[in-house]
Amino acid sequence: MKAIVQDTYGSSDVLHLRDIDKPVVGERQVLLRVHAASLHIGDWHLMTGMPYLLRLGFGLRGPRMSVRGMDVSGRVEAVGKGVTRFQPGDEVFGTCDGALAEYACAREDRLLHKPSNLTFEQAAAVPTSAITALQALRDQGKVRPGQKVLIIGAAGGVGLFAVQLAKAFGAHVTGVCSTSKVELVRSLGADDVIDYTRQDFAEMGQRYELILDTAGNRELSLLRRALTPRGTLVIVGGEGGGRWFGGIDRQLRALMLAPFVSHKLRMLASVARKEDLEVLKELIEAGKVMPIIDRKYPLSEGREAVRHLESGRARGKIVVTCAEA
């Protein structure tokens, strides 16, 4: 089968389309004929091996798992021993290792049947980004109806889902994004949109009960300035902080500061959970949340898809199609 493979850490130049062995389904696993995979910033971190701290878990000299991609949708090709929820032919979506390939194996508990109102490409765009947004707002942010919520990076992979989820939870949502993405964020239901190239939300005098920062390039002091006295800041990912710690540096500083201020300062390391994917599936089938796709690439152009992710210009999710539906 064909797959997007890397042998060493580095830029998108380390990615190559190769013929490799088809994976063998194991116990409690499902073998998928992959129809689509989507990219998120975690794929870029695993490709580059940055920050260095990440290599402790994924390989010091090179990635232990050579095929990139995590978010997937496709049809069940075969099931392993002990699998009871799926059978060959089922249309599914979820997360796995090595999604940028014609076939991939996934744990049974990381998959659900595909939402009836989504294509394979749309379904692949959901899992990691949407789960991250859900856990940030609901679990860490404790979002409530009527709250004023600020979402920084509202046009990013997590941000686009966060805007829709916050609205679904009954919040008053303000999104922060660049000029070219203002109308997109507004179309998803944001009550207000701030163009950060023209206005600084921290200087506007507005205070928010919950701030979700997915952009990762603002100092804690500026973020806290826009919070109500007992407001909550949730930091999701983020870049900067150097080669060793990356965005983790700012998250750790927030945790160290938290005991000494009235604000609730939270960090999020999202975990793929079937229960959260079920919540998202219900919201999607109810029409309250929908994935936004910026661009699609065939598997043969997987390297170009990652380069588009690196550029930061995407208005929505980047999807790689691996087979015709």
Domain positions in the chain are 2-126+291-321, 129-268
What residues does 296 pair with on adjacent strands?
319
CA angle 140, 145, 150 (to 5 degrees): 60
User: How does strand 91-95 pair with strand 71-79?
Assistant: antiparallel
pTM, two decimals, is 0.93
What pLDDT shows up at residue 265?
A: 92
3-state secondary structure of 113: strand
> Rounded distance, CA 169 to CA 212, Å?
14
Any idea what DSSP says for residue 138? I
What pLDDT shows up at residue 131?
A: 97
Query: What's the CATH code, domain 2-126+291-321?
Result: 3.90.180.10
One digit per residue, the tens of pLDDT, for the chain of length 325 reads: 999 999 999 999 999 999 999 999 999 999 999 999 999 988 888 888 776 776 777 777 888 889 999 999 999 999 999 999 999 999 999 999 999 999 999 999 999 999 999 999 999 999 999 999 999 999 999 999 999 999 999 999 999 999 999 999 999 999 999 999 999 999 999 999 999 999 999 889 899 999 999 976 678 888 999 999 999 999 987 655 556 555 666 777 777 777 888 899 998 877 889 999 999 999 999 999 999 999 999 999 999 999 999 888 888 899 999 976 4
- Amino acid in position 314: A
What pLDDT shows up at residue 46?
A: 87
What pLDDT shows up at residue 48?
A: 84
Query: What's the CATH code, domain 129-268?
Result: 3.40.50.720
What residues does 290 pair with on adjacent strands?
none
C-alpha dihedral (272, 275, 276, 282), degrees to nearest 10: 140
> Rounded distance, CA 43 to CA 99, Å?
11
Half-sphere exposure of 147 (CA within 13 A, CB side): 24
b/e per residue 24-34 (b: at least 16 CB within 10 A) = ebeeebbbbbb
